[in-house]
Structure 1
Amino acid sequence: MLLIGRLNYSWTNTESLLIHLIAGLVGTTKETAVIIFLTLNTTRARVDLVERLSKMDGRDPAERARVLEVTRRLLGLSGLRNRYNHCIYSFDPDGGAPRTIQMRIADRRDAIKVGQTDLLDAAARADIDAAISNLEALNRAIWALIAEYRYPA
């Protein structure tokens, strides 16, 4: 559970850097960008905004490429983060590995599937560790972009 907490912290810390990208791409203050960021209530909406701003006419192609590279990396990590944030946890009273129970409905042709379960085993821990490492690297890449393009920090 501590590892999932670390994943959440790493995710939130990295996603919040979109504030600086919004400020730089809009040409506004960090405070105004915070309001924009908080008004958009999903990661997907925030990333869509940043990507659309980077694709506007007149944007430096190198800047656009850098912004799109970091947003695509962030979205690539969102699946694992969502798996562990949009579930409930089941603990074995006999000390076995905990399980996640997904809180989503999977529509099939003629049925629905609810409550897919997965073990929180060594493989899951390795996936979470890898995601945290990737988020740390992405965080550094976004800070480098912020510094290079002098976005409000």
Structure 2
Amino acid sequence: MHATRTLARTVDRPRATITRFRDVLLLLGQLNYTWTNTESLLIHMIAGLVGVDKETAIVIFLTLNTTRARIDLVERLTKMQKTPPACRVEVLEATRRLSEEAKLRNKYNHCIYSFDPDSGLGLTQSMRIFESKDEIKYGKIEKLDEQEIGRIRESITSLAGINRMFWDITERYGFPK
């Protein structure tokens, strides 16, 4: 009987690893979907703050090829004197929160994933170079454990809240939809 249980556990491990791997990939897909959906709302901020139609704002948004550049533009437009103070506070809070979430999103978009078939433990390996005055480091490896999975879930929830903030701003200030 003991040998049967051991064999069953061994046979189930690869299946459990595949299931865990699939679940993590689905969660990362949800993170990317939520991120992209929320970042695209910067189009409405650009349209409203510049005073242009949505199509023009889309061209501006797509011309800026990084999230950082898009957020910088929205923040600079928001800080202009013509922006009502209440609107300024709301937009800057939303972009601040979006910038905070960008760190985790960037981590998972710029890494390699691996899963140990025996333990099912996931790992990420950074695809960034960290350079100091006299050396470089690259490929930082981190565990993709339950705590990290919790951080991803929290980020998805936070992004959904930021998404609602942008929509509320769009509605409240009559920005083009």
Scaled to the shorter chain, the TM-score interval is over 0.9
How many positions carry a matched residue from both structures?
Answer: 153
State the distance in 2 between where 1:50 and 1:133 align: 23
Unpaired segments ≥5 residues, structure 2: 1-24
* TM-fit CA distance, 1:58: 2.2
Per the alignment, residue 128 of structure 2 pairs with 104
* TM-fit CA distance, 1:119: 1.2
Secondary structure at the aligned position of 1:56 is classed as coil
Unpaired segments ≥5 residues, structure 1: none
* TM-fit CA distance, 1:97: 1.2
> Map of 1:4-153 to 2, 5 A cutoff?
4-153=28-177
State the distance in 1 between where 2:163 and 2:58 align: 18
Say what the alpha-carbon RMSD is for the aligned residues: 1.0
* TM-fit CA distance, 1:32: 0.6
Letter in 2 for 1:104: R
Q: TM-score, normalised by structure 2?
A: 0.84
* TM-fit CA distance, 1:91: 2.3
* TM-fit CA distance, 1:95: 4.6
State the distance in 2 between where 1:76 and 1:87 align: 19
State the distance in 1 between where 2:128 and 2:28 align: 19
* TM-fit CA distance, 1:62: 0.8
State the distance in 1 between where 2:114 and 2:166 align: 36
* TM-fit CA distance, 1:96: 2.3
Q: 4+ residue runs of structure 1 moved beyond 3 angstroms?
A: none
Identity of aligned residues (%): 58
Secondary structure at the aligned position of 2:73 is classed as helix
Secondary structure at the aligned position of 2:118 is classed as coil
Letter in 2 for 1:106: F
Q: TM-score, normalised by structure 1?
A: 0.96
State the distance in 2 between where 1:109 and 1:26 align: 42
Secondary structure at the aligned position of 1:90 is classed as strand
1:13-70 deviations in Å (ceiling 9; x for gaps): 0000000000000111101101100000000000010011111122211111111110
The structure with the largest helix share of the pair is: 2
Letter in 1 for 2:147: A
